[in-house]
Structure 1
Amino acid sequence: MAYELTGKVKLIQEPKTFESGFTKREMVVTVEDGKYPQEINLEFVQDKVALLDALSEGMEVTVTFDIRGREYNGRYFNNLQGWKIVAQDSDSAGGNPAADEYFSTASAPGPGPGVGDDDIPF
């Protein structure tokens, strides 16, 4: 099941590649939620890491993601795993078709091939 959130990019981390070849990259999106804005950490894995290349801090984006959960050594972990990003263009009513096309067509549902629940413990 896919979820969406819209907010401003606060932070984009550098990609991390592990010895197994698994690559992930995280970003933080600030979502206005009444009196207290929420800072939501999302991760992008394998081929979805490239979706963050064209983003910059302060951009308004809508991110589509899945909630992933797993158990490791008796502890339970949840991750928000992004797989689609649409940049919001605040300069014109019609949006930025080139940016929307890039983000929309460069992604496909799901976390990508070869990504299992036990690749990393968190």
Structure 2
Amino acid sequence: MALELIGKLIKVLPEVSGQSQKGPWSKQEFVIETLDASYPKKVCLTAWGDKVADLKQYATGDTLKATFSAESREYNERWYTELRAFRIELAEGDGGAAPARPAAPQQAQSRPAAPQGAAMSFNAAFDEESNDLPF
């Protein structure tokens, strides 16, 4: 499940790295504040591996569009949720001001457009451009 978030980069936390059986790894968390004028929310996302280097090209205050996946896991009867960013880019129209509402992606003619705010079906088809998974 791919989700998108557009907001202002307000904080980049220190990079964390280590060694596992599969080799070295690195991650870096960053905080984006949504552009909702009435109730802006702060959301902490995690960049892993090569995405850590991508994150370094942005400065605090930049308006970013982060595409991420959400995953939860249980440990000792507590649940932990991680928002793993797999694409980080400047939001369209970023010139210091809040960007306009993002345009909807081009829909294939064979599929009807989903209503605004509707949940995506489990077996929904994606175009090749939106499928940026590393595996």
Q: Give the TM-score normalised by the residue count of structure 1.
A: 0.70
Q: Following TM superposition, by how much is the alpha carbon of 1:35 offset from its aligned partner in structure 2, in angstroms?
A: 2.1
Pairing 1:58–2:61 present: yes
Contact 2:15/2:27, CA 8 A, preserved across alignment: yes
How many percent of aligned residue pairs carry the same amino acid? 31
SS at match of 2:50: helix
Report the equivalent of 1:73: 76
Task: Specify every segment of 5 or more residues in structure 1 that has no aligned partner in the other structure, as ranges.
Answer: 92-107, 114-122
What is the alpha-carbon distance in structure 1 between the residues aligned to residue 79 and residue 90 of structure 2?
Answer: 32
2:38 maps to which of 21, 29, 35: 35
Structure 2 unaligned blocks of 5 or more: 97-130
User: Which one has more relative contact order, counting CA pairs under 8 Å at least 6 apart?
Assistant: 1
Deviations 1:90-122 (A, max 9, x none): 27xxxxxxxxxxxxxxxx733x57xxxxxxxxx
Distance in 1 separating the partners of 2:75 and 2:132: 26
Q: Which has the higher Rg, Structure 1 or Structure 2?
A: 2
Equivalence for 2:27: 24
Matched to 1:13, the amino acid is L
Per the normalisation by structure 2, the TM-score is 0.64
User: Which has more helix, going by share of residues?
Assistant: 1
2:6: which partner in 1? 6
